[in-house]
């Protein structure tokens, strides 16, 4: 680290009323009201920029003092650095009301150092002028408690569940250690002055989930994890723990964490965008979950603060509105009468983190909280629901549950009086008991969903159903639609009291339609929306769950089609592909559609059955069309979409195949075309009307999001060119006429 520039701007102004004194100040004390400064990092120049203002009266009384800048790397004591000559003075200047320093950094770890402003007397005595600062982490995240569109959440590893569940929020796990690759299966991404290999196959699986979430208008949170088994990244390797925190005091690991997070933020920064980063899992639980070794609470809090800053910088350079989340266990030590008995108390850990984010990180650092729990509400089990569920259940007060979640809110609100920026929202992540299923699981979920929905502090209720998703699938699909009472009210018979049932917000529209038994009657015209037999007309088909490849190919009879292949599938597994339109496809003129397809499972008999699900939609409105087909048959599936077509266009098409009767070592889905039908318009009329809608959709997309309207540009250029051509032509005509007037003989030629 070296000094680049130090220059002083002096002004005659009084900015403070108090006059601090240095005479009785010990070196480890910090002055108050003597100086105010900010510390920022310029990504282009790779410099730390420090702007400050000194109390005018203090400056007058200490005019012979100098202002110095030192830096202390993360994990080191900054008090001792004040008078330690081994710490280089990076910049200095004479005393003045205002000062600005530019300090060049050589390593990424120096970006997260604590920068000290020191007052030095003529006889060499030095005093720390203010709390040291870490360069700011810019953030525009702002929680709106009135926006409940992301309230219904799901934690899953399944792309099909994400795309079909209508969730407003999804949490996707990302293991930092699994992202690294050798050169054989990699995507190159710049790191410092070189490149790092990111594992392509691992990212491909994340892509499937992100695309599924994006087309379903679902907020995406990546939970960034480091395995306790990871001997390269983890702070302390421990085979008895599940996770660890990366060693953020290491230069190489800071580089790695920043680069991999930056890769994720860059990859999902435009069309598919991540909404937040969760920094670990149950970070306060170092007894059972996280391996951190023997470090003290202060050391752990400093390390985790650096971790938050690194993740925040990496994400916010691409998306300043992304949320940074601190995940906690359900241990309750937020009230005086509850003692957790754990090595790290969540309340003390948060207090320490909030202090550092407020006092040491320059600028406001906006973040959220997450509480992770597996507490089943009301003690519900598969056996006891038949006896009636008692809503006066006594919970364990040493753990945070739906009954005492406001203890966390009250604690955080109290912290806001001490520190400038504290979280204003919390995600509630519930892992259901693996033995809970059927109506018991539905009762537990419905109760939690309703009980938490009215809490403005809870921004999202995210459920993890594990392998029991199927038993609660219908309830989960409809709980945030107008039909929510139709799926909740059948559960009332299990409860002794239903006062917990409150009106729920309906922020999704789901229209389900079954396969028509025959082709619609009285059809006047048809329009082929997609024709895969004419080559690859739909290039933006993405791999979904269990999809290994997508390409334009010829089937067994020589017909060109879109060929979607799967990995090995068991009964109940799904193969999925997701198409994204370049414009909104409007079906208002065709109340019926068909999809022509075929299933090939060479290891199964011809009569094996497969469920086909077709999803169309945009934003919060979705149509799900379901039918069943046989193996080795080319089928044309007809659906009535008259309820969906008038209320919403579609900007995506999801086709999902589920194995009903047989497994497969590799399934093939062949897509031939998708056609719309009308009993009001002829084919020619449909062709004209739908092409007009597409042209309108394209022109609107050209100007979307404040982007440049190239269609308008080309139109203007064309008009100007035409005007210019006409002008030149007229000029030549008039000039020729003028020449003819001057030369009468030419008239006779």
User: Among 237-251, 458-472, 732-746, which is the least confidently predicted range?
Assistant: 732-746
């259940």: which residue's tokens? 393
Q: What is the mean pLDDT of the segment spanning 665-683?
A: 96
Residue 12: is its pLDDT beyond 50? no
Sorting pLDDT into bands at 50, 70 and 90, what band is 272? confident
pLDDT at residue 709, as a whole number: 40
pLDDT at residue 231, as a whole number: 86
d(CA 60, CA 56): 6
pLDDT at residue 9, as a whole number: 33
Rg for the chain, CA atoms, rounded? 32
pLDDT at residue 538, as a whole number: 63
Sorting pLDDT into bands at 50, 70 and 90, what band is 700? low
- In the numeric block, which tokens belong to residue 229? 């088994």
More confident call, 745 vs 461: 461
pLDDT at residue 98, as a whole number: 96
Residues 616-669 have pLDDT tens digits of 999 999 999 999 999 999 999 999 999 999 999 999 999 999 999 999 999 999
More confident call, 403 vs 699: 403
Query: What SS3 string covers 127-176?
Result: EECCCCEECCCCCCCCCCCCCCCCCEEEECCCHHHHHHCCCCEEEEEEEH
d(CA 263, CA 265): 5
Sorting pLDDT into bands at 50, 70 and 90, what band is 449? very high
Sorting pLDDT into bands at 50, 70 and 90, what band is 503? confident
pLDDT at residue 699, as a whole number: 63
d(CA 337, CA 345): 14
Contact 96, 54 (CB under 8 A): yes
Sorting pLDDT into bands at 50, 70 and 90, what band is 10? very low
Q: What is the mean pLDDT of the segment spanning 460-475?
A: 95
d(CA 294, CA 304): 15
């350079």: which residue's tokens? 317
Q: What is the mean pLDDT of the segment spanning 356-374?
A: 93
pLDDT at residue 184, as a whole number: 85
Residues 568-626 have pLDDT tens digits of 999 999 999 999 988 899 999 999 999 999 999 988 999 999 999 999 999 999 999 99
Residue 708: is its pLDDT beyond 70? no
Share of the chain above pLDDT 90, in %: 75
Sorting pLDDT into bands at 50, 70 and 90, what band is 341? confident
Residue 214: is its pLDDT beyond 60? yes
Pairing relationship of beta strands 219-227 and 276-279 according to DSSP bridges? parallel
Residue 208: is its pLDDT beyond 70? yes
The mean predicted confidence, pLDDT, of the chain is 88
Residues 113-160 have pLDDT tens digits of 999 999 999 999 999 999 999 998 878 898 999 999 999 999 999 999
pLDDT at residue 428, as a whole number: 98
Query: CB-based contacts of 112: which residues, under 8 Å, 6+ apart?
Result: 74, 134, 135, 248, 254, 306, 309, 310
Residues 174-198 have pLDDT tens digits of 999 999 998 889 999 999 889 999 9
pLDDT at residue 696, as a whole number: 83
Residue 692: is its pLDDT beyond 90? yes
pTM: 0.88
Residues 233-245 have pLDDT tens digits of 988 988 889 999 9
Residues 35-76 have pLDDT tens digits of 999 999 998 899 999 999 999 999 999 999 999 999 999 999
More confident call, 671 vs 421: 671
Contact 543, 208 (CB under 8 A): yes
């Amino acid at each position: 680290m070296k000094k680049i520039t130090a220059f002083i701007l002096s002004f005659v102004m009084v900015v403070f009323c108090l006059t601090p004194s240095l005479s009785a100040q010990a070196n480890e004390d910090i002055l108050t009201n003597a100086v105010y400064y900010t510390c920022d990092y310029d990504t282009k120049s790779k410099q730390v920029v420090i702007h400050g203002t000194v109390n005018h009266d203090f400056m007058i009384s200490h005019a012979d003092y100098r202002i110095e800048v030192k830096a202390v790397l993360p994990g080191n004591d900054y008090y001792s650095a004040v008078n330690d000559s081994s710490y280089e003075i990076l910049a200095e200047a004479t005393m003045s009301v205002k000062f600005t320093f530019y300090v060049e950094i050589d390593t990424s770890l120096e970006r997260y150092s604590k920068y000290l402003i020191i007052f030095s007397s003529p006889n060499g005595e030095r005093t720390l002028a203010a709390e040291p600062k870490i360069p700011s982490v810019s953030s525009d995240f702002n929680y709106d408690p009135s926006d409940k569109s992301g309230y219904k959440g799901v934690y899953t590893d399944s792309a099909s569940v994400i795309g079909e569940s209508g969730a407003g929020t999804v949490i996707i796990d990302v293991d930092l250690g699994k992202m690294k690759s050798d050169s054989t299966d990699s995507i190159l991404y710049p790191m410092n002055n070189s490149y790092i290999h990111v594992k392509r196959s691992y990212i491909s699986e994340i892509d499937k989930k992100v695309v599924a979430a994006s087309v379903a208008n679902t907020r995406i949170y990546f939970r960034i994890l480091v395995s306790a088994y990871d001997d390269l990244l983890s702070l302390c390797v421990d085979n008895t723990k599940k996770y660890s925190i990366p060693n953020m005091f290491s230069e190489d690991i800071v580089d790695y964490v920043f680069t991999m997070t930056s890769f994720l933020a860059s990859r999902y920064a435009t069309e598919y965008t991540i909404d937040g980063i969760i920094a670990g899992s149950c970070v306060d639980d170092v007894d059972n979950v996280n391996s951190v070794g023997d470090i003290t609470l202060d050391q752990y809090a400093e390390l985790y603060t650096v971790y938050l800053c690194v993740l925040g910088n990496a994400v916010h350079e691409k998306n300043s509105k992304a949320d940074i989340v601190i995940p906690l266990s359900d241990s309750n030590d937020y009230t005086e009468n509850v003692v957790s008995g754990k090595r790290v108390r969540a309340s003390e850990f948060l207090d320490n983190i909030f202090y550092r984010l407020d006092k040491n990180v320059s600028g406001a650092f906006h973040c959220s909280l997450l509480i992770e729990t597996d507490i089943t509400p009301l003690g519900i089990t598969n056996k006891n629901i038949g006896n009636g569920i008692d809503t006066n259940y006594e919970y364990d007060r040493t753990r945070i549950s739906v009954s005492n979640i406001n203890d966390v809110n009250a604690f955080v609100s109290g912290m806001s009086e001490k520190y400038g920026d504290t979280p204003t929202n919390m995600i509630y992540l519930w892992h259901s008991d693996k033995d809970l299923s059927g109506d018991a699981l539905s009762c537990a979920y419905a109760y939690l969903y309703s009980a938490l929905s009215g809490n403005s502090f809870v921004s999202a209720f995210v459920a993890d159903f594990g392998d029991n998703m199927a038993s609660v699938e219908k309830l989960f699909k409809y709980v945030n639609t107008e039909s929510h009472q139709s799926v909740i009210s059948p559960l009332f018979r299990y409860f002794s009291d239903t006062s917990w049932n409150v009106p729920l917000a309906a922020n999704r529209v789901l229209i389900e339609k079954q396969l028509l038994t025959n082709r619609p009657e009285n059809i006047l015209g048809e329009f082929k929306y997609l024709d895969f037999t004419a080559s690859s007309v739909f290039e933006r088909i993405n791999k979904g769950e269990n999809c290994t490849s997508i390409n334009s190919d010829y089937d067994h009879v020589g017909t060109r089609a879109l060929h979607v292949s799967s990995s090995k599938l068991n009964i109940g597994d799904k193969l999925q592909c997701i198409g994204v339109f370049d414009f909104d496809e409007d079906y208002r003129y065709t109340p019926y559609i068909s999809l022509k397809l075929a299933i090939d499972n060479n290891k199964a008999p011809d009569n094996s059955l497969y469920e086909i699900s077709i999803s169309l939609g945009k934003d919060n409105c979705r149509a799900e069309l379901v039918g069943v087909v046989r193996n080795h048959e080319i089928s044309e599936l007809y659906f009535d979409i008259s309820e969906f077509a008038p209320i919403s266009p579609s900007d995506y098409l999801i086709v999902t195949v589920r194995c009903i009767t047989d497994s497969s070592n590799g399934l093939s889905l062949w897509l031939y075309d998708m056609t719309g039908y009308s009993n009001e318009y002829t084919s020619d009329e449909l062709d004209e009307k739908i092409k007009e809608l597409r042209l309108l959709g394209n022109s609107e997309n050209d100007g979307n999001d404040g982007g440049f309207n190239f269609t308008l540009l080309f139109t203007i250029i064309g008009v100007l060119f035409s005007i210019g051509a006409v002008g030149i032509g007229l000029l030549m005509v008039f000039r020729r006429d003028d020449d003819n007037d001057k030369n009468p003989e030419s008239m006779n030629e």
